[in-house]
Structure 1
Amino acid sequence: MDGLVSPDGLVSLAYDYPVLGVFWTVMWFFLWVLWLSVLFRVIFDIFRDPHLGGWGKTGWLLFVLFVPFLGVLVYVIARGQDMGRREIEHAKQKRAAYDEYIKQVTGGGGSADELTKLSELKARGDITEEEFAQAKQKLLS
């Protein structure tokens, strides 16, 4: 312990060692970013839940905003299992809407004109190579 105490009686901190100071700063920064991502994920989940009424959403939102650490902890404990299910449902809905959009843009049939439209979409960068291959396979089958 004598090696950590300076001649004036103060205890050495991490900032007396620059590398350790950088480590602590980076660690706290990443923990802060992680905290913000969890907080916003909970807030988005509050609004995404169709089974939660207006007063329920208001209550949870006020709880999470005014007592953030406790609010997020209680929300994740009480409603955390359904968060993943709602996230999956949301992703499926987005995928179905995207597939419907591709069908509208390509015309939904199997002619050469529709393949041309697909290749134009790919050339413009509106769809990826995998999406092009899937849509082409659907048109040709």
Structure 2
Amino acid sequence: MSFWENFWDIFWWFFLVYAFIAFLWALFAVIGDLFRDDMLSGWWKAVWILFLVFVPLLGVLVYVIARGKGMTERSMARAQENREASDAYIRSVAAPSPSDEISKATALRDSGTISADEFERIKTKALV
């Protein structure tokens, strides 16, 4: 009888693969959080890493139970920082507001860099 002929063997195999991938994801999330935590000293980080190396499943469970709330807070703070940085970048590369363009054109006209006709074209383009 072949392995692929029994439904429950296949089901069990997929379940184990899923559980292993979920465990790896949790392990990497814990390690990532461990190194992002500025409040934890280097010695405690080393103790956690040793715990995760020698007793990985128990280490992940204990870390999530003991430090899960802080893990969530650090994750949310990092997401907020990323969002703010993204918004600031978008604002910096987005087209300037019409009032900014008109004020720049006014300064150029007053300095004599552009003529009154060019100023009017820039102003019309900015308002459209």
TM-score where L is the length of structure 2: 0.68
Deviation at 1:112, TM superposition (A): 9.2
Who is 2:107 aligned against? Answer: none
- Structure 1, unmatched stretches of 5+, are 1-14, 115-141
Who is 1:39 aligned against? Answer: 27
Is 1:111–2:105 an aligned residue pair?
Answer: no
Deviation at 1:111, TM superposition (A): 2.8
Is 1:64–2:52 an aligned residue pair?
Answer: yes
Secondary structure of the corresponding residue to residue 56 of structure 1? helix
Cα offsets for 1:88-141 (capped at 9, x unmatched): 01100111111111122126x413999xxxxxxxxxxxxxxxxxxxxxxxxxxx
- Structure 2, unmatched stretches of 5+, are 102-128
Letter in 2 for 1:38: A
More helix by share: 2
Deviation at 1:81, TM superposition (A): 1.5
Letter in 2 for 1:96: E
Structure with larger RCO (C-alpha < 8 A, sep 6+): 2
Larger radius of gyration: 2
Whole-angstrom CA distance in 2 between matches of 1:25 and 1:41: 24
TM-score where L is the length of structure 1: 0.62
Identical pairs, percent: 43
Task: After the TM superposition, list the runs of 4 or more consecutive aligned residues in structure 1 that deviate by more than 3 angstroms.
Answer: none
Who is 1:117 aligned against? Answer: none
Q: RMSD value over aligned CA atoms?
A: 2.3
Deviation at 1:16, TM superposition (A): 9.1
Deviation at 1:56, TM superposition (A): 1.7
